[in-house]
Amino acid sequence: MATMARTNTGLAYPDRFYAAASYAGFGGSPNSANKDVASKFSNEVALILYALYQQATVGPCNVPKPSPWSPVEQGKWKSWQQLGNMVSAEAMRLFVKILEEEDPGWYSRTSNSVESVRDVQMNHNSNGEPIIENGNSFAETKTISAENGSLMEAQDKDIVLEGLGPVVVYDQWVSPPIKGQRPKARYEHGAAVVQDKMYIYGGNHNGRYLSDLNVLDLRSWTWSKVEASIESKSEESPSPVNIAPCAGHSLIPWENKLLSIAGHTKDPSETIQIKAFDLQTGTWSILKTYGKAPVSRGGQSVTLVGSTLVIFGGQDAKRTLLNDLHILDLETMTWDDFDAVGVPPSPRSDHAAAVHAERYLLIFGGGSHATCFNDLHVLDLQAMEWSRPTQQGEIPSPRAGHTGVTVGENWFIVGGGDNKSGASETVVLNMSTLVWSVVTSVEGHVPLASEGLSLVVGSISGEDILVSFGGYNGRYNNEVNVLKPSHKSTLQSKIMEAPVPDSVSAVQNATNPTRDLESDFEVGQEGKIREIVMDNTDSEHMKSKGEETSELIIATLKAEKEELESSLNKEKLQSLQLKEELTQAETRNTDLYKELQSIRGQLAAEQSRCFKLEVDVAELRQKLQTMETLQKELELLQRQKAASEQASLNAKQRQGSGGVWGWLAGSPPQNADDA
């Protein structure tokens, strides 16, 4: 059971809260309380403390909404109302925490009467049970020692003890006391949390790829190695499955499995492989996918959106940087690639990605072969359109090799570097407003200023914690660090929205629905109310101030209206020009169609003529064949005639030669007539 405690106080809750409220100026007459609070704190903090005090002492806001022309009262009401059903104990705790962040020495400056409210010593409740008062449970105050034996100075921090486990302070990185055999130091590994256990798989150590699977129990902070087996056969081949060591991959929990996607290997495959570790059977396998799988790579981003994985960028085995986009449907294990409209991020690897509202994919930073980036790109997964919005706040420096996780609408970024030095600050981006802020910073060459470290979100006593592991900053690390993000910034972003009269808000929404105009209710155009004074008695002053503010709002709205009308006129003019161009294009299209029809008619006539010519050619070929036959017959008759004439000539020659021989024999020649 987690125990909430303070290291430097003699008061437990709720007395600590009442002492803090008295110091802040609450609890007396309303007029004096309002003046005391306004004089001690900024306007934003005053509103937060007021809302938390009301929530703790009265409960959820059930009072009617004040008049729109009383902006201070409306701001206080809205601050209180937006706390919803927060329990009294939580409101008390947050009240004290914010007070200690604003005024760390408040307790030492309180009067001795505060100590007399409740004199609680450590031995009053030695069994460690929580104190129950007014139906709320408040943990007993305890003194906490740091690992080096010295008392931890934490008067402005909330401290959580999980049994004898780690000490976690708000918005500060701490090293919990780790038990068990630590994994080999590494970077570019994969990390994922399943049921309060952080799994670490693969990575790179001294240029050697790793394949071990380790698990850290986030309740006992104990390391252990997972003895995994490999399936003898895969769905694709009866041969044994090869689970190659890898780095630069992504580890995603899905159902009862851990999915290892892509990554660099010694002998890379042609396409991305999906390896799965079954948490129930303790076996590795390679999942069969369908469709055109992307080329193998490492340093890509893999984001789980519903039941699909969105893969972007990375570097392939030939060190070619990529900026392609692929989606894997985990229900059907089918790949699909998309050509989104707009300008995509330049090719890069070792960037960070997150999804907001299950619709917007955010890409931040990364590196090429020559430089590192700090640009922010957003992909609308419904419209499949890239955009590059304007970043606000404390924009991080260029970096690659960083890591990030989301907690609600906040995207925490840790580590990374620019090939010169590691990034020492932990930053957070509000994904709704795109405003950056620095959570904390570290000094020196510590693992948190490393490249290739991992970051996951865990939970202690129902509160989110960030857990980092490993990284490389000149040496390989295997340290675990923990940060518990506070909710102060979230509270401020929600309850510090300045109140705007409903009528004014409606006009603003009608004229420019894309702006959050409640935050525009300010003196001037600064975006915040800087002159809030919690004094209900000075109504005339507040009324005149409200009137001045309303006039400024009206003037601003008029200027915006004129600007919108000017833009609308430009759009109308452009629309008319486009209509004229469309009409001209349609006319040209009609002329071209007529010309096409004419050409088609000519072509048909030519085709008919060609057909007739083909018939004539066929007839001529037949006649030619007949002439060839007659020629052959004529030649045959000529040969027969020549043969007949030759035979006749031979016969005459034989007759002439017989008369001579007869004369020689003494026979008288015969007359021609006798012959």
Each residue's pLDDT tens digit, 353-365: 999 999 999 999 9
According to DSSP, the β-strands at 197-205 and 208-217 are: antiparallel
pLDDT of residue 28: 54
Two structure tokens written together for 560: 């915006």
pLDDT of residue 505: 36
Range of lowest pLDDT (175-184, 494-503, 593-602): 494-503
E-strand spans in 338-446? 352-356, 360-367, 372-380, 385-387, 392-393, 403-407, 410-414, 425-430, 435-441
Q: Alpha-carbon distance 586 to 345, whole Å?
A: 38
Amino acid of residue 616:
D
pLDDT of residue 35: 52
Q: Give the pLDDT band (50/70/90) at residue 27.
A: low
DSSP string of 617-675, one letter each residue: HHHHHHHHHHHHHHHHHHHHHHHHHHHHHHHHHHHHHHHHHHHHHHHHTTPPPPPTTT-
Three-state secondary-structure class, residue 554: helix
The mean per-residue pLDDT over the stretch 198-213 comes to 96
Q: What's phi and psi for 244, nearest 5 deg? A: -80, 145
Two structure tokens written together for 396: 């991080």
Find residue 230's DSSP bridge partners: 284
pLDDT of residue 130: 36
Range of 36-45, 450-459, 604-613 with top mean pLDDT? 450-459
According to DSSP, the β-strands at 372-380 and 360-367 are: antiparallel
Q: Give the pLDDT band (50/70/90) at residue 571.
A: confident
DSSP string of 449-497, one letter each residue: G-BS-EEEEEEETTEEEEEEE--BSSSBB--EEEEB--SHHHHHHHHTS
Q: Give the pLDDT band (50/70/90) at residue 161.
A: very low
CATH class assigned to 14-24+38-104: mainly alpha
Q: Give the pLDDT band (50/70/90) at residue 663.
A: low
Find residue 417's DSSP bridge partners: 400, 422
Counting beta carbons within 10 angstroms of the beta carbon of residue 303, is it exposed (0 to 12), middle (13 to 18) or buried (19 or more)? buried
Least Cα distance to 481 among 443, 451, 453 occurs for 453
Q: Which residue do the tokens 């590494």 mark? A: 186
The mean per-residue pLDDT over the stretch 616-620 comes to 90
Q: Alpha-carbon distance 303 to 483, whole Å?
A: 23
The mean per-residue pLDDT over the stretch 2-10 comes to 38
Three-state secondary-structure class, residue 175: coil
What is the Rg, in whole angstroms, of the alpha carbon atoms belonging to the chain?
Answer: 45
Question: 131-154: per-residue pLDDT in tens?
Answer: 333 333 333 333 333 333 332 333
Range of 71-85, 631-645, 661-675 with top mean pLDDT? 631-645
Q: Alpha-carbon distance 596 to 603, whole Å?
A: 10
Question: 234-261: per-residue pLDDT in tens?
Answer: 555 455 678 899 999 999 999 999 999 9
The region that residue 424 occupies, defined by phi over 0 for left and psi between -120 and 50 for alpha, beta otherwise, is alpha
CATH classification code of 173-233+240-484: 2.120.10.80
The mean per-residue pLDDT over the stretch 597-602 comes to 89
pLDDT of residue 512: 39
Q: Give the pLDDT band (50/70/90) at residue 558.
A: confident
Q: Give the pLDDT band (50/70/90) at residue 321.
A: very high
Range of lowest pLDDT (53-62, 193-202, 352-361, 524-533): 524-533
Please state, as a whole number, how many other Cβ atoms lie within 10 Å of the Cβ of residue 534: 24
pLDDT of residue 668: 57
Q: 513 pLDDT exceeds 50?
A: no
Q: Alpha-carbon distance 419 to 451, whole Å?
A: 9
Q: Alpha-carbon distance 568 to 562, whole Å?
A: 10
pLDDT of residue 550: 67
Q: Alpha-carbon distance 313 to 453, whole Å?
A: 19
Please state, as a whole number, how many other Cβ atoms lie within 10 Å of the Cβ of residue 448: 25
Q: Domain spans of the chain?
A: 14-24+38-104, 173-233+240-484, 585-621
Q: What's phi and psi for 531, nearest 5 deg? A: -120, 35
Q: 648 pLDDT exceeds 70?
A: yes
Locate all alpha helices (DSSP H) within 173-221, ordered by sequence: none
Average pLDDT of the chain, as a whole number = 79
Two structure tokens written together for 355: 């999804």
pLDDT of residue 507: 29
pLDDT of residue 352: 98
The mean per-residue pLDDT over the stretch 481-486 comes to 93
Q: Give the pLDDT band (50/70/90) at residue 524.
A: very low
Q: Alpha-carbon distance 78 to 51, whole Å?
A: 9
Q: Give the pLDDT band (50/70/90) at residue 509.
A: very low
Q: Give the pLDDT band (50/70/90) at residue 79.
A: confident
Least Cα distance to 125 among 40, 264, 5, 242 occurs for 5
Question: 273-295: per-residue pLDDT in tens?
Answer: 999 999 999 999 999 999 999 99
Range of lowest pLDDT (106-120, 244-258, 464-478, 616-630): 106-120
